[in-house]
Structure 1
Amino acid sequence: MRKDHTIKPWDQTPNIELSHIRYFVAAAEHGSFRKAGSALGLSQSAISRRIAHLEDQIGASLFHRHTWGVSLTFAGQHFLVRARKAISTIGLGAFEVASIGRSEHGCVRIGIYSSVASGFLAELLTRFGQLHKRVRIEMVDGNPTDHVAAIQQVALDVAFIAGTRDWPGCEREQLWTERVFAVLPESHALSRHKKLTWQDLASHTFIVSEAAPGKEIHDYLVRCLTGLGKHPEIHVQKVGRDNLVPLVGLSIGLTLVSEAMTAAQFPGVAYRPIQDEVLPFSAVWCNRNDNPALRRFLSLAKTISAEPTRKRGNVAPSQTRDPSP
Structure 2
Amino acid sequence: MTRKTAKQHDPIEFRHLRYFIAAAEHGSFRKAGAALGLSQSGVSRSIADLEDQIGASLFHRHTWGVELTFAGKRFLRRSRHIIRAIDTGAEDAAAIGRSEYGSVRVGIYSSIASGFLADLLRAYDRQHGEVQIKLLDGNAAEHVAAIRKLKLDVAFLTGTEEWSGCETVPLWSERVFAVLPLEHELTQLHQIEWRDLAEESFIVSESPPGQEIRDHLVRRLAGLGRHPEIQVQYVGRDNLLPLVAIGRGLTLVSEAMTVAQFPGVTYRPIVGEILPFSAVWSPRNDNPAFRRLLSMARSMAAVTNINGTMPLSSDAGMSAVPSQTRDPSQRSAQASERSGEPGR
Q: How high is the TM-score relative to the length of structure 1?
A: 0.89
The CA distance in 1 between the partners of 2:147 and 2:308, in whole Å, is 31
Q: Which residue of 2 aligns with 1:97?
A: 93
* Residues 1:135 and 2:131 aligned together: yes
Conserved? CA contact 1:106–1:134, under 8 Å: yes
Name the SS of the counterpart of 1:215 in structure 2: helix
RMSD: 2.2
138, 141, 147: which one aligns with 1:145:
141
Gaps of 5+ in 2: 312-344
SS at match of 1:307: helix
Bigger Cα displacement from structure 2, 164-173 vs 100-109: 100-109
**d(CA) in 1 for partners of 2:175 and 2:3?**
81
2:184 counterpart residue number:
188
Match of 2:2 in 1: 3
Q: Counterpart amino acid of 1:18?
A: F
More displaced 10-residue stretch of structure 1: 305-314 or 134-143: 305-314
Distance in 2 (alpha carbons) for counterparts of 1:4 and 1:90: 28
Corresponding position of 2:119: 123
Q: Aligned equivalents of 1:35 and 1:283: distance in 2?
A: 57
| Counterpart Cα distance in 2 of 1:296 and 1:34 | 47
Whole-Å separation in 1 of the counterparts to 2:158 and 2:205: 17
Amino acid at match of 2:124: F
Pairs within 5 Å for 1:1-325: 2-3=1-2, 15-307=11-303, 311-313=307-309
Alpha carbons 2:192, 2:271 under 8 Å: kept:
yes
Cα distance between partner residues in 2 of 1:308 and 1:5: 70
Residues 238-285 of structure 1 deviation map (CA, whole Å, 9 limit, x = unaligned):
111221111111211111000001122111111111122111111112
Moved more, 173-182 or 58-67: 58-67
- Is contact 1:160-1:283 (8 Å) kept? yes
The alpha carbon displacement at 1:310 in A equals: 7.3
Q: Distance in 1 between matches of 2:283 and 2:101?
A: 21
CA 1:312–1:44: 2 relative to 1, 3 Å: closer
For 1:36 and 1:255, the matched residues in 2 are separated by: 76
Do 2:304 and 2:310's aligned partners in 1 also have CA atoms closer than 8 Å?
no
Superposed CA deviations along residues 23-62 of structure 1, whole A, max 9, x for unmatched, are: 1101001101122123223333332232222223333322
Classify 1:314/1:220 alpha carbon distance in 2 versus 1 (closer, same or farther; 3 Å): farther
Runs of 4+ in 1 over 4 A off after TM superposition: 308-311
Aligned length: 311
Which amino acid counterpart does residue 160 of structure 1 have in structure 2?
F
For the structure 1 residues 244 and 310, does the alpha-carbon distance in structure 2 shift closer, same or farther, using more than 3 Å as the test? farther
Distance 1:211 1:301 in 2: 26
CA distances 1:275-311 after superposition (whole Å, capped 9, x unpaired):
2211111111222222222222122112111225874
Using a 3 Å threshold, how does the CA distance of structure 1 residues 232 and 196 change in structure 2: closer, same or farther?
A: same
What is the deviation of 1:220? 0.5
TM-score norm. by structure 2 comes to 0.84
| Cα pair 1:173 1:282 within 8 Å, conserved | yes
Give the match for residue 337 of structure 2. none
Task: State how far apart, in whole Å, the 2-side matches of 1:250 and 1:200 are.
Answer: 20
C-alpha separation in 2, matches of 1:268 and 1:71:
84
What amino acid is aligned across from residue 43 of structure 1 in structure 2?
S
SS of the residue corresponding to residue 230 of structure 2 reads: strand
The share of aligned pairs that are identical, in percent, is 62
Q: CA deviation at 1:155?
A: 1.6
Q: Which amino acid aligns with 1:29?
A: E
